[in-house]
């Protein structure tokens, strides 16, 4: 279940005796590497306390839609953006009905309306309530909206009845959650991704670099693996842990990354250049540390580095080649010029002048630019954004 590693799961707990199992669900999700936050309905708090789930998740439990402290910063919207998956377990018959109707009368239903990524519900109710035509109609509505229905199980129930409606066991729920991230849309394909910054040495202790964290490239590597692709991650220096199924190739300078990229092109179907590669490097690298002098200035001659993504796009056979354009002004214009100048199939443009997205942030907002069209993807977590990008790339190859 490695596909849950680093995933952000927002666990919604609705009212019902099965709410006590939410504690084990949290533990099982964490065992598989997921980050977990919890939202509880008022009815859920009658069965298990927020303090219990706070202690287990390590995060404050959210209970109120109109919490003045949280809503000063639009807390429910931030929560909805944060999550890769919104899992409601247990999901009562009442909650399923309100979700199907599109209600937003409490925090959990409001989050479902504001959440743009995957939603899953694990039903738990009496067997007669489960079999009721109204419940089945509501479930059919949710399935048409691509809400995943996990379970239920059948057996003895707390009320003494026997039949379907029991909450699926936590281990099975977590297995289903992991499966939701496995799309298979790039089965049999090889994806090569560059990520992070490069470092261009001035002397043995100093270098020229940039603020790239590598988060977008690493998120794309995870998304490519979820899609079934053989994934090669060529990474500049970062503090990130690479996905364990990706083949990591370490690079420091632009020249290192250029050589590694060309070496990786054999059988490459998709090349995604997210790395922030230095355009220039010092013409000469001092063998010893450069000492400070009495002069108020120092001249460093720079020479141009090889253009990695252009070299990949010129390769025969050419992989589907995706470039990134991190700009501070005229974002669309510069990105489209890059698309045309370098013969790319797609450019992902983002405005790095905005402090809350882009470099070092966990979120981004981008514009996808193809030769004949454009598409805006709104601000969201980089892991969610990565899955959206992989989905669109896979559609181009289908």
How many structural domains are present in the chain? 2
Cα-to-chain-centroid distance, residue 322:
18
Residues 243 and 163 in one domain: no
How confident is the model at residue 294, as a pLDDT? 87
* Distance in angstroms (rounded) separating the CA atoms of residues 259 and 250: 11
pLDDT at 146 over 80: yes
DSSP letter (8 states) at residue 2: G
How confident is the model at residue 161, as a pLDDT? 81
Instruction: Grade residue 42 by pLDDT with cuts at 50, 70 and 90.
Output: very high
Residues 33 and 112 in one domain: yes
What is the maximal distance between C-alpha atoms in the chain?
88
- Of 126, 157, 180, at which residue does a domain stop? 180
Residues 242 and 207 in one domain: yes
Residues 97 and 222 in one domain: no
Q: Mind spelling out the 3-state secondary structure of 256-306?
A: HHHHHHHHCCCCCCEEEECCECCCEEECCCCCCCCCCCCCCCCCCCEEECC
Residues 146 and 195 in one domain: no
* Distance in angstroms (rounded) separating the CA atoms of residues 176 and 118: 12
Specify whether the CB–CB gap between 384 and 398 falls below 8 A: no
Q: Is residue 162 domain-resident?
A: yes
Residues 297 and 161 in one domain: no
**pLDDT, mean of residues 232-240:** 96
Number of other CB atoms surrounding residue 64 within 10 Å: 16
Q: Is residue 110 domain-resident?
A: yes
How confident is the model at residue 387, as a pLDDT? 92
pLDDT at 350 over 90: no
Residues 201 and 69 in one domain: no
**pLDDT, mean of residues 185-208:** 94
Q: Is residue 107 domain-resident?
A: yes
pLDDT at 71 over 90: no
> Checking DSSP bridges between strand 270-273 and strand 190-195, what pairing results, if any?
parallel
How confident is the model at residue 69, as a pLDDT? 57
Instruction: Grade residue 100 by pLDDT with cuts at 50, 70 and 90.
Output: very high
Cα-to-chain-centroid distance, residue 30:
17
CATH number at residue 99: 3.40.50.1950
Contacts (Cβ under 8 Å, ≥6 apart) of 293:
none
Report the range of poorest mean pLDDT among 115-129, 150-164, 354-368.
354-368
The whole-chain average pLDDT of the chain stands at 90
Residues 198 and 338 in one domain: yes
Contacts (Cβ under 8 Å, ≥6 apart) of 160:
none
Residues 195 and 173 in one domain: no
- What is the residue range of 293's domain? 190-397
Residues 106 and 144 in one domain: yes
- Of 131, 160, 180, at which residue does a domain stop? 180
Q: Is residue 173 domain-resident?
A: yes
Instruction: Grade residue 1 by pLDDT with cuts at 50, 70 and 90.
Output: very low
Which DSSP string corresponds to 3-61? GGTT-EEEEEE-SSGGGGGHHHHHHHHHHTT-EEEEEE-TTGGGTS-HHHHHHHHSSPP
**pLDDT, mean of residues 98-119:** 91
Q: Is residue 23 domain-resident?
A: yes
Q: Which of 300, 249, 253 lies closest to 276, judged by CA?
A: 253
Residue numbers annotated as active site: 159
> What angle in degrees, to the nearest 10, is found between the helix axes of 107-114 and 93-100?
40
How confident is the model at residue 86, as a pLDDT? 95
Residues 139 and 206 in one domain: no
Q: Is residue 311 domain-resident?
A: yes
Instruction: Grade residue 356 by pLDDT with cuts at 50, 70 and 90.
Output: low
Report the range of poorest mean pLDDT among 143-147, 180-184, 352-356, 357-361.
357-361
DSSP letter (8 states) at residue 197: B
CATH number at residue 335: 3.40.50.10300
pLDDT at 353 over 80: no
Which residue's structure tokens are 């490519």? 224
* Distance in angstroms (rounded) separating the CA atoms of residues 397 and 394: 5
Q: Is residue 303 domain-resident?
A: yes
- Of 180, 213, 245, at which residue does a domain stop? 180
pLDDT at 171 over 70: yes
pLDDT at 352 over 80: no
pLDDT at 110 over 80: yes
Q: Is residue 185 domain-resident?
A: no
Residues 235 and 348 in one domain: yes
**pLDDT, mean of residues 280-295:** 91
């Amino acid at each position: 279940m490695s596909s849950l590693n680093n995933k952000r799961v927002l666990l919604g707990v609705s009212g019902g005796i099965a709410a006590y199992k939410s504690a084990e669900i949290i533990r099982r999700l964490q065992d598989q590497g997921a980050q977990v936050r919890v939202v509880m309905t008022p009815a859920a708090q009658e069965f298990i306390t927020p303090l219990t789930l706070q202690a287990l998740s390590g995060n404050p439990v959210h209970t109120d839609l109109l919490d003045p402290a949280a809503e000063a910063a639009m807390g429910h919207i931030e929560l909805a953006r944060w999550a890769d998956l919104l899992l409601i377990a247990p999901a009562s018959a009442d909650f399923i009905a309100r979700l199907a109707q599109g209600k937003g009368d409490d925090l959990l239903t409001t989050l479902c309306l504001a959440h743009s990524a995957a939603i899953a519900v694990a039903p738990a109710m009496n067997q007669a309530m489960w079999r009721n035509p109204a419940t089945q109609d509501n479930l059919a509505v949710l399935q048409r909206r691509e809400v995943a229905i996990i379970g239920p199980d059948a057996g003895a129930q707390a009320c003494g009845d026997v039949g379907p409606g029991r909450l699926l066991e936590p281990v099975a729920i977590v297995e289903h959650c992991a499966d939701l991230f496995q799309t298979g849309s790039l089965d049999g394909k090889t994806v090569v991704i560059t990520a992070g910054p490069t470092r261009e040495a001035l002397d043995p202790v100093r270098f020229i670099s940039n603020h790239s964290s590598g988060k977008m490239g690493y998120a794309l590597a995870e998304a490519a693996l979820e899609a079934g692709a053989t994934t090669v991650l060529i990474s500049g220096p970062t503090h990130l842990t690479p996905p364990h199924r990706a083949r990591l190739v370490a690079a420091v300078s632009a020249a290192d990354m250029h050589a590694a990229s060309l070496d990786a092109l054999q059988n490459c179907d998709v090349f995604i250049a997210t790395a922030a590669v230095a355009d220039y490097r010092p013409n000469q690298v001092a063998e010893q540390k450069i000492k400070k002098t009495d002069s108020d200035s120092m001249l460093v001659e720079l020479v141009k580095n090889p253009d990695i993504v252009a070299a990949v796009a010129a390769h025969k056979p050419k992989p589907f080649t995706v470039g990134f354009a991190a700009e501070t002004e005229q974002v669309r214009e510069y990105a489209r010029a890059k698309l045309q100048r370098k013969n790319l199939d797609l450019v992902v443009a983002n405005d790095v002048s905005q402090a809350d997205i882009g470099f070092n942030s966990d979120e981004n907002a981008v514009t996808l630019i193809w030769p004949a069209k454009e598409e805006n993807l709104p601000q969201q977590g980089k892991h969610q954004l990565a899955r959206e990008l992989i989905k669109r790339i896979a559609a181009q190859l289908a």
